[in-house]
Structure 1
Amino acid sequence: MPLLTIKELNSTTKLWVWKISETWDELFQSVVLKDVSLARLETMKSESHQKGFLSVRKLLISAGYTDFDLYYDEFGKPHLNDGKHITISHSFEFSIIVISDEVIGADLELLKEKTLKIAPRFMEIFHLENLSHYEQMKKATVIWGIKESVFKIKNEPGISFPLHIFEQQFNLEDKKTIAELRFNNKTEYFDVVFDFIEDYVFVCAFEKNK
Structure 2
Amino acid sequence: MALAYLRELENGVRFAIWRIEETAEDLIGRLQLDEQERETLNRLNKGKRTLHWLATRVLLREMLNTPGYISCPSDANGKPYLANFPQRISLTHSFDYAAVMMSDNGEVGIDLELVKTKILRIADKFMKPAELEGIAGQQRIEQLYACWCAKEAVYKLQGNKGVSFKDNMTILPFEFQDQGVLFLDLDAPNRKTRFKVYYEKFQEYMLGYVMEGN
Same fold (TM over 0.5): yes
TM-fit CA distance, 1:67:
5.5
Residue 34 of structure 1 contacts residue 67 of structure 1 at CA under 8 Å; is this kept in 2?
no
**Structure-2 change in CA distance of 1:117 and 1:30 (3 Å):** same
Q: Deviations over 1:85-112 (max 9, x none)?
A: 1000111111000001221111111101
**Structure 2 counterpart of 1:143:** 147
Asked if residue 91 in structure 1 is aligned to residue 98 in structure 2, the reply is no
Residue 171 of structure 1 is matched in structure 2 by 175
**Partner-residue secondary structure (3-state), 1:88:** strand
**Superposed, which structure 2 residues align to 1:44-193 within 5 Å?**
44-63=44-63, 64-65=65-66, 68-80=70-82, 81-100=84-103, 101-123=105-127, 124-129=131-136, 131-132=137-138, 135-173=139-177, 175-184=180-189, 187-193=192-198
CA distance in 2, matches of 1:2, 1:106: 19
What is the aligned partner in structure 2 of residue 198 from structure 1? 203
Q: Does structure 2 retain, via aligned residues, the 8 Å contact 1:84–1:99?
A: yes
Count of matched residue pairs? 206
Contact kept in structure 2, 1:90 and 1:96, CA below 8 Å? yes
- Measured on the aligned residues, the alpha-carbon RMSD in Å equals 2.0
Task: Give the gaps of 5 or more residues in structure 2.
Answer: none
Aligned to 1:34: 34
Unpaired runs of 5+ in structure 1? none
Q: Deviations over 1:10-51 (max 9, x none)?
A: 242101111011122222222222221111011001410100
TM-score, normalised relative to structure 1: 0.89
